Structure 1
Amino acid sequence: MEGNLMLLYRSLVTLFALKVVAGLVLRGDRNALRQRLALEAPAEGRHLWLHAASNGELSSARPVIEALAARGVPLLVTCNSPTGVALAQSWGLVARLAPLDLARVTRRMIRHWNIVAQVTMESELWPNRMLLCPGPVLILGGRLSPGTARGWRHFGGLLGRMLARVAFLSAQDDGSLARFRAAGLPPEAEGPVIDLKAFYAPPRLADPSLSALRRDGTWLAASTHEGEEEIVLAAHALARRRDPGLTLILAPRHPRRADAVERLVRAAGLSVARRTRGDPPQGADVYLADTLGEMALFYPLAGRVFIGGTLGDRGGHTPHEPAAFGAALIHGPDVANFRPAFARLAEQQAAIGIEDAATLAAALEALADPEAQRRLGARARDALAPATDAGTLAGMLMQHLDGII
């Protein structure tokens, strides 16, 4: 039975591999093809293989990665996306596209890079990589949702076999840890429950063209989705009745929607300045932040932040980043993606929950005083602070790597 289930996995991953390879061949991307098939020339020296899906997972783990690098650990980073690879390379790391999880490709990857251990992030559980790794397998921010756990049951005991190879697992939340235990995680492999996003370290960015924005008189709607901008703009119009100088930085999750969002702003009777046009924010009711990768530039400019994706069915975006900047947090009811973090915020009364434009406007007015913004922001930062720091977590990993790296 177990052999048949592994055969089923091999069949499915082979079909996936054929699709990926065909796409790369059609695009003529030979470099990506070589990396996906682990066909590069062998590298010198031993390596710890660290795999993350893409930018988000990699950014969450950056403090741990830096702590490992500071200890002299030779890292090879792989990601599923070119943007993740580019991000890792921008940090000075050796990074490649992740190889396809075919047994032959995985063996070639391990041989060419002299892999002696593997660290995998969150829900990136790949059977061949874990089963064929010659040294310890370590999982950081391990995430196993109820749906994913049910999906693994179609493969019988395959997940249990993989988890038997795990020397250390730090789960993202208590629910994931319970599901990993039920699936066969050895008790001795259990590490502390840590949400890696709590390690977010805010970069210090500045743009003189935005210096006119006053933190206490500006609020940010971060990573909004379709259907949320109308609520945000209605709340902004209501709040401006009490505070006519209030400015909104509106940052849609997908900047390609900027034209549609700008039309919504104008339809609400509000003036708009747009970042991609180089418009200065002075005098505009709304500053449309229609760029990617600049949220760390906007967070310090706003004393109040509405967390997008929480009004609807998107599950919400991270509260960790705005909290790291000391912003007062406002959010809707849909927080499924970060439920433990929002639960801590609720327990410590460190954020304001809203449901519609009227309650959002009321929250903005309640936080009009700069001292109220600072108090709530400090409470949120304390509520989401990790119990274990990145250096300590890296030290836990090193206990399993001593003598082999």
Structure 2
Amino acid sequence: MARFLYSSLLYLLLPLILLRLAYRSWRAPDYRRRVAERFGFFAPPPQTGGLWVHAVSVGESIAAAPLIERFLQNHPNLPVVVTTMTPTGSERVRAMFGERVFHVYAPYDLPGSVARFLSRVQPRALVIMETEIWPNMVCQTRDRSVPVVLANARLSARSARGYARVKPLTEAVFSRFSMVAAQSQEDAERFVELGVAADSLQVTGSIKFDISLREEQRQHALEWRRDLGARPVWIAASTHEGEDDILLSAHAALRKAQPDALLILVPRHPERFDSVAALVKQKGLSLARRSRSEQVAEVAVLLGDTMGELVTLFGCADLAFIGGSLVERGGHNSLEAAAWGLPIITGPSDFNFAEISRQLQEAGALIPCSPSALPDQLVALMKDESRRARMGSAASQVVESNRGALERLCGIVDRQLG
């Protein structure tokens, strides 16, 4: 009954869903393309009966990449279907895998759309990355005797409280997971409280610790850093609306102490690139845009307005700030910065990555900072090279000591395939 009411509500809200899609397509035109896929209408893949991986957007797609690569190596005869919800996620999947996987948008969680998708793809197993839990997606897949794995699963206390408000629906869905691979013991306990069977749960750690920097990325970072010159460089990665103004003010304060300092500013969403560029100029700071290959020798801010280069841009910096944390967004993954051995600053909102932040902070690699304290903290840290070196070394050590989740997750997926 709970799922019937949920589905009925979704059908009633469909006009608003389409209006939201139209609004998003006004800001980001790619949203108006391939709309039929979102309702389960697309040409079926040439081969069915393989692995379906659902990764909502860029971050989840990147997190899923090592799992997909390993699966392609270990099961060369089985196809892989990868779904996303956003155009940026779609672009990232195609850039990473090309024709090696079949990619479409995930269907809206309407019963008919999900049924059409499943009939076309006929997966042998479904892996959902992190917290992208859709009731009809999970339940209809299980109704077809297809195992569903929630991988790299995290559940903040805040999200758990939200799920608890609709407990009849939550329990009906969470009890259907074949296996939940939780990032931490705290996550695991919250999943059990919300209906996941204890014997369907394993604490594997985060596969994001299994990040590996390719030699190509290291080489490009060295070349790009050479172009930036011998000056202090910090990066603000995956920023959201409301953060850029704070970060640019902090950078202005840094440039008073170190006039040649450079900020690499990377907004989270491509539709904000132009507005952030305008804000930089409004602040009276000189700007170069990465997408235009503009000269950076004398500028104050380099706008990282390209896709797929963030990991390499981290390698050009002396210090990293992780966005989504000065506003109530719960932060973003700081492990890419840690893998480069960078000292890390975040804002106070980190509930999406609380366990990772805790480990980095306890190791002395990460400093949580309020918006008002950010300028002073930034200036102090950029002046203290030895402290940055200690923090960076600690960050690298945290990454190295937590590797292994990928192997555990691959084992879970292989067992579900039978």
Aligned-pair distance for 1:17?
4.8
Query: Per the alignment, do residues 70 and 303 of structure 1 end up closer, same or farther by CA in structure 2, a change over 3 Å counting?
Result: same
User: Is residue 310 of structure 2 the alignment partner of residue 295 of structure 1?
Assistant: yes
**Paired amino acid for 2:312:** L
1:284 to 299, 307, 311: 299
1:87 to 85, 88, 92: 92
1:188 to 199, 208, 217: 199
8 Å contact kept, 1:354–1:363: no
The C-alpha deviation readout for 1:88-109, integer Å capped at 9, x for no partner, is 2331311111123343443443
Partner of 2:279: 261
**Residue 343 of structure 1 aligns to a residue in which SS?**
helix
Partner of 2:364: 349
How many residue pairs align between the two structures? 396
1:142 and 1:362 map into 2 onto residues whose CA distance is 33
User: Is residue 331 of structure 2 the alignment partner of residue 316 of structure 1?
Assistant: yes
Partner of 1:121: 129
**Paired amino acid for 1:81:** T
2:391 and 2:93 map into 1 onto residues whose CA distance is 34
8 Å contact kept, 1:37–1:105: yes
Aligned-pair distance for 1:9?
1.6
**Paired amino acid for 1:281:** V
Query: Per the alignment, do residues 346 and 43 of structure 1 end up closer, same or farther by CA in structure 2, a change over 3 Å counting?
Result: same
Greater C-alpha Rg: 1
8 Å contact kept, 1:348–1:379: yes
8 Å contact kept, 1:333–1:353: yes
2:327 and 2:60 map into 1 onto residues whose CA distance is 24
User: Is residue 120 of structure 2 the alignment partner of residue 112 of structure 1?
Assistant: yes
**Paired amino acid for 1:261:** L
Partner of 1:222: 237
Aligned-pair distance for 1:30?
8.8
1:252 and 1:103 map into 2 onto residues whose CA distance is 35
Partner of 2:28: none
**Residue 7 of structure 2 aligns to a residue in which SS?**
helix
Overall identity of the aligned pairs, in %: 30
**Paired amino acid for 1:194:** G
Root-mean-square deviation (CA), in Å?
Answer: 3.4
Which deviates more, 30-39 or 74-83? 30-39
**Residue 315 of structure 1 aligns to a residue in which SS?**
coil
Query: Per the alignment, do residues 41 and 235 of structure 1 end up closer, same or farther by CA in structure 2, a change over 3 Å counting?
Result: closer
Unpaired segments of 5 or more residues in structure 2?
26-30
Query: Per the alignment, do residues 24 and 263 of structure 1 end up closer, same or farther by CA in structure 2, a change over 3 Å counting?
Result: closer
Any residues of structure 2 matched to 1:142-157 within 5 Å, and which?
A: 142-146=153-157, 148-153=159-164, 155-157=166-168
Query: Per the alignment, do residues 117 and 264 of structure 1 end up closer, same or farther by CA in structure 2, a change over 3 Å counting?
Result: same
**Paired amino acid for 1:116:** R
2:291 and 2:47 map into 1 onto residues whose CA distance is 44
1:244 and 1:151 map into 2 onto residues whose CA distance is 46
**Residue 49 of structure 1 aligns to a residue in which SS?**
strand
1:318 and 1:42 map into 2 onto residues whose CA distance is 32
User: Is residue 355 of structure 2 the alignment partner of residue 340 of structure 1?
Assistant: yes
**Residue 404 of structure 2 aligns to a residue in which SS?**
coil
8 Å contact kept, 2:204–2:405: no
8 Å contact kept, 2:240–2:324: yes
**Residue 211 of structure 1 aligns to a residue in which SS?**
helix
Aligned-pair distance for 1:378?
2.0
**Residue 59 of structure 1 aligns to a residue in which SS?**
helix
Any residues of structure 2 matched to 1:5-404 within 5 Å, and which?
A: 5-17=2-14, 31-34=34-37, 36-38=39-41, 40-41=43-44, 43-72=46-75, 73-90=78-95, 91=97, 92-133=100-141, 134-146=145-157, 148-153=159-164, 155-202=166-213, 204-205=216-217, 206=220, 211-214=226-229, 217-226=232-241, 228-253=243-268, 254-266=272-284, 270-356=285-371, 360-368=375-383, 370-385=385-400, 386-402=402-418
8 Å contact kept, 1:327–1:377: yes
Aligned-pair distance for 1:352?
2.9
Unpaired segments of 5 or more residues in structure 1?
none
The C-alpha deviation readout for 1:350-382, integer Å capped at 9, x for no partner, is 123433566544544444455543331121122
Aligned-pair distance for 1:300?
1.1
2:415 and 2:298 map into 1 onto residues whose CA distance is 57
2:19 and 2:253 map into 1 onto residues whose CA distance is 53
8 Å contact kept, 1:137–1:166: yes
8 Å contact kept, 2:381–2:388: no
Aligned-pair distance for 1:338?
2.0
2:328 and 2:316 map into 1 onto residues whose CA distance is 28
The TM-score, its normalising length taken from structure 1, stands at: 0.83
Query: Per the alignment, do residues 39 and 191 of structure 1 end up closer, same or farther by CA in structure 2, a change over 3 Å counting?
Result: same
1:122 and 1:373 map into 2 onto residues whose CA distance is 31
Query: Per the alignment, do residues 141 and 49 of structure 1 end up closer, same or farther by CA in structure 2, a change over 3 Å counting?
Result: same
Aligned-pair distance for 1:62?
1.0
The C-alpha deviation readout for 1:210-252, integer Å capped at 9, x for no partner, is 6332477322233344554454444444444554443333334
